[in-house]
Amino acid sequence: MTNKNESDQVKNLLVDEEILWKDRKRYLGLPISFTVYTLDNNRLYLKRGFLNSVIDELLLYRVLDVKLSRSLGQKIFGVGTIVLSTADQSNPTLIIKNVRHSDRTRKLLSNIVERERNEKRIMGKEMYGTAGMGIMDDIGMQDQGMNNGVM
């Protein structure tokens, strides 16, 4: 009986999430690259490469800031670049280059990030120190003589 329960739990973990958005990196507005971006309810996947492929995964509650930039050429071809500043150690800045409907995608990402952070009860100020240098806790700050403004 426990083997059946364990196998059911494993199957539940392996269930594919619903894909909310999927696009490719575009050149001149055409999807002729081997970079694919996929967004589900709580993760963003970045798959790069053809022969040697690499899949990078980002938990969306770790996103600190979402920024959209569109050059004149991108506006002409109907694409844009979304820059995500994250608290992820392996990828502090994730760039989603040349995707269609970039403004709608940015809004979708922003809404999902807020929902994930609210569900996990994580505030931006709690994660702010994790980007870049890492978290400096009270012990580390005391060792460096930086606690409460005392040097």
pLDDT of residue 16: 61
**0.75 exceeded by pTM:** no
pLDDT of residue 148: 46
pLDDT of residue 121: 83
Q: Which long-range contacts (CB under 8 A, 24 or more apart) does 76-82 make?
A: 77/26, 77/28, 77/29, 78/29, 79/26, 79/29, 80/106, 82/106, 82/109
Pair 43, 16: CB distance under 8 Å: no
pLDDT of residue 11: 52
The kind and range of the H/E element at 10 are helix 2-13
pLDDT of residue 136: 39
Q: Cα–Cα distance between 18 and 112 in angstroms, integer? A: 13
Mean pLDDT by 10 residues, the chain (151 residues): 57 67 94 95 94 94 95 96 93 95 96 92 61 42 44 38
Q: Which domains are present in the chain?
A: 18-132 (2.30.29.30)
CB count, 10 Å around CB of 87? Answer: 21
Q: Which residues does 146 contact at the CB level (< 8 Å), separation at least 6?
A: 136
Question: Which among 30, 9, 41 is positioned nearest to 108, based on CA atoms?
Answer: 41
Identity at 15, one-letter amino acid code: V
Torsion of Cα atoms, 98 then 102 then 108 then 110, to 10°: 80
pLDDT of residue 63: 93
Quote the tokens at residue 37: 């971006």
Question: Which among 127, 133, 132, 135 is positioned nearest to 62, based on CA atoms?
Answer: 127
pLDDT of residue 120: 86
